[in-house]
Amino acid sequence: GYCVEVKIGNTRNKIDLAVFDPTYNQYLLGIECINKDYKNMDEMIENQIYHQGFLQSRGWKIHRVWTRDWWLSKNKVINSIIREIENAKKELIKANLDSKK
């Protein structure tokens, strides 16, 4: 029941999935699917943490899904995504109500 777009962005580091709320014309959540093998910890830190910080500095809420977690417990991963979407939606509604005061 969510509007989801794929590969959002205009750089080589696109957001894999983005949940969009048409009512407010705004993205609620970016979902990154992490399935890469990293040669070293520094590469992982740079690619994941700095990239997430960059996106968050531009207003994105990011949720990561690791391939291993998906294969071990899809329902748990889906439920965590739904919780994040619903929390983001509540924050958006609250922000819109506050701005109208």
Predicted confidence at residue 73, as pLDDT, reads: 96
Q: How confident is the model at residue 68 (pLDDT cuts 50, 70, 90)?
A: confident
Any idea what DSSP says for residue 65?
E
- In tens, the pLDDT along 17-49 reads 999 999 989 999 999 888 766 555 666 666 667
Report the SS3 class of residue 20. Answer: strand
- In tens, the pLDDT along 3-13 reads 999 998 877 67
Residue 86 phi, psi dihedral angles, 5° rounding:
-65, -40
**Predicted TM-score of the model (pTM):** 0.80
